Amino acid sequence: MRGITRFRWVAGATAMALTATGCGVIFGSTGGGNGGAVLSSSWGDPQNPLEPANTNEVQGGKVLDMIFRGLKKYDPRTGRAQDWLARSIETEDSRNFTVRIKKGWTFSDGEKVTARSFVDAWNYGASLRNNQKNAYFFGYIDGYDKVHPDSGTQSADTLSGLKVVDDHTFTVKLNQTFSGFPDTLGYAAFAPLPRAFFTDHAAWVKKPVGNGPYTIESYTRGSQMYLRKWDGYPGPDRARNAGVTLMVYTDSNTAYTDLLAGNLDLVDDIPAAQLKNVEGDLGDRYINTPAGIIQTLAFPYYDKAWNRPGSEKVRTGLSMAINRRQITDTIFRGTRTPATDWTSPVLGPGGGFKAGLCGSACDYDPVRAKQLIKEGGGIPGGQVKITYNADSGSHRQWVDAVCNSINNALGNDRACVGNPVGTFADFRNQIGQHKMTGPFRAGWQMDYPLIQNFLQPLYYTGASSNDGKWSDAEFDRLVDLANAETDTARSVAGFQKAEKVVRDNMAAIPLWYQNGSAGYSARLSHVALNPFSVPVYNEIKVG
């Protein structure tokens, strides 16, 4: 029976191993700051390391918004760019700029913010070797093609267009005229960086140090970050609470449930499934305000079928076959509003938003739609396939609704179908490989509140987000002209002229403007979302 005792030993060891992993844990330890004047807020795991020039999504952007302040800051209500660290940004020709920085600003580790803090940061962001995903933001600066060539190795380490004059002055030379350039400088990619970022990069990424109203007290990757108010913050927008705990949620529904149960103070992404309950659940603690996001349907212009004379009529016809009002009301419950131009209401009329610029082409008119599509030679292949990624948002619902609307208008049950792609990554992949055979979902969240940002990256020949490869010489010419204007009002008017070219060709079908939505607990007040749909954390009051 020797064997049996040994088996017993194996079984016993298993049981013990299970007990050890299972019960050796502490019960209910409390970490991070919660309670008191600290608020807790829902968060998602940032996709990239938290470097300013490497963060291109809203979750990482949230943190950067709290720990960094740049030359400009966008007003949380109007979206207008205001001088922040910049004392002045002067130019005479919209190409050579002199930037003067205010004195008295420091990073939270005590280091002074100087001209070099900016120049070094921008050089780092632009350099190909650092793999920064926002590098193209520095593409307007002279010498970018040397530090970030399209192929091959870089022939320079620093941008030749940046020169430090003294501690608080530097000059920027652009490779083209761009009158809106100063207004882009509020984007996180242009934030200054302390020396610690370069000298001990690994430690900095683990616990970033910046010059904003908050400092990072503790950061447990993938689960939570506790940001404490920085008492020595020299700016006028000091935090009005003691701190913020950002908590990673696996699912926005769970975050919402936690808010209802009183375990969480702020949710800045109300799940679509809860939109019908949210007003009953939260009452006036639910906010729904315009954000700089527009959803469109883009077309594959590399496909001959969509790029022949007359196909603009088909596209316009499709646009007129979509009952936008009905979809935004029933599916999105007012968190989207029907689009009537290609920008966003957050720009305001002065910034280039023009309600109704699309005209009748964006009005629901099934009769005219049917007629236009017929005149344009009918739908290529007899069926429109709208490609979208099915892994996030409520894309399936609205694509089905859009198709339904088109089918009804055309009196043909098979005129339009949705074509789901499993993941966002694969969706982007297929777009990049020019595999689209029909319209596809295109969403655009602005980087900075300028009309230029809604047009040039999306419709200019060869631009970074021109996924459909639309190209129009007249549009390009008008954009170049508008960029060269030194007067803001005339520049905006120039862009609107270019936008009309987009309309006449129906380069992309505008669907709706997206709002930011958030809900908060009774403990909080003064909660608002900025035009980037990020909560304005520093203004929130607790208790």
Partner 1 sequence: MGRYVVRRLLQMIPVFIGATLLIFLMVNVMGDPVAGLCGERACDPATAAQLEKEFGLDKPLWQQYLTYMGKVFTGDFGTAFNGQPVTELMATAFPVTVRLTVVAIFFEIVIGVTLGVVTGLRRGRPVDSGVLLATLVVISVPTFVTGLLLQLLLGIRWQWISPSVRYGTLDELIVPGLVLASVSLAYVTRLTRTSIAENKRSDYVRTAIAKGLPRRRVTTRHLLRNSLIPVVTFIGTDIGALMGGAIVTERIFNIHGVGYQLYQGILRQNTQTVVGFVTVLVLVFLVANLLVDLLYAVLDPRIRYA
- Binding residue (CB under 8 A) for partner 1 from 35, 45, 77, 413: 45
Stretch of 125-133, 345-353, 407-415, 470-478 contacting partner 1, by CB under 8 A: 125-133
Binder of partner 1 out of 443, 471, 497, 536 (CB under 8 A): 443
**Nearest approach, Cβ of 252 to partner 1 (angstroms)?**
10
In three-state secondary structure terms, 493 is helix
Q: Of these, 164, 196, 205, 484, which contacts partner 1 (CB under 8 A)? A: 205
* Contact mark string toward partner 1, 17..36, x via CB under 8 A: -x--xxx-xxxxxxx-----
The b-or-e profile of 400-434 (16+ CB within 10 A means b, else e) is: bbbbbbbbebbeeeebbbbbebeeeeebeeebeee
Sheet holding 162-166, edge to edge: 86-91, 96-101, 169-173, 162-166
Q: Are the beta carbons of 111 and 232 closer than 8 angstroms?
A: no
200 binds partner 1 (CB under 8 A): no
Q: How far apart are the first and last CA of the chain?
A: 71
Applying CB under 8 A, among 169, 289, 465, 471 the residue interacting with partner 1 is 465
| Burial annotation 327-352 (CB, 10 A radius, 16+ → b, else e) | bbeebbbebbbbbbbbbbbbbeeebb
Cβ closest to partner 1, residue 31 vs residue 334: 31
Task: Decide if residue 367 touches partner 1 (CB under 8 A).
Answer: no
Q: Which of residues 56-115 bind partner 1 (CB under 8 A)?
A: 56-57
Q: Which residue, 156 or 484, has its beta carbon nearer to partner 1?
A: 156
User: Rule CB under 8 A: is residue 286 a binding residue for partner 1?
Assistant: no
462 by Cβ neighbours in 10 Å (0-12 / 13-18 / 19+) ranks as exposed
> Per-residue contact track with partner 1, 385 to 424, x per CB under 8 A?
------xx-----------------------------xxx
Calpha distance 126→463 (Å, rounded)? 17
Q: Applying CB under 8 A, does 149 fall inside the site for partner 1?
A: yes
In this complex, which beta carbon is closest to partner 1, that of residue 230 or of residue 459?
459
> How far apart are the C-alpha atoms of 236 and 238, rounded to whole Å?
6
Q: Which of 37, 48, 396, 497 binds partner 1 (CB under 8 A)?
A: 48
Binding to partner 1 by residue 457, rule CB under 8 A? yes
Q: In Å, how far from its chain's centre is CA 79?
A: 14
Asked if residue 283 binds partner 1 (CB under 8 A), the reply is no
- Site track for partner 1 across 212-231, x = CB under 8 A: ---------xxx--------
> From CA 446, how far away is CA 344, in angstroms rounded?
9
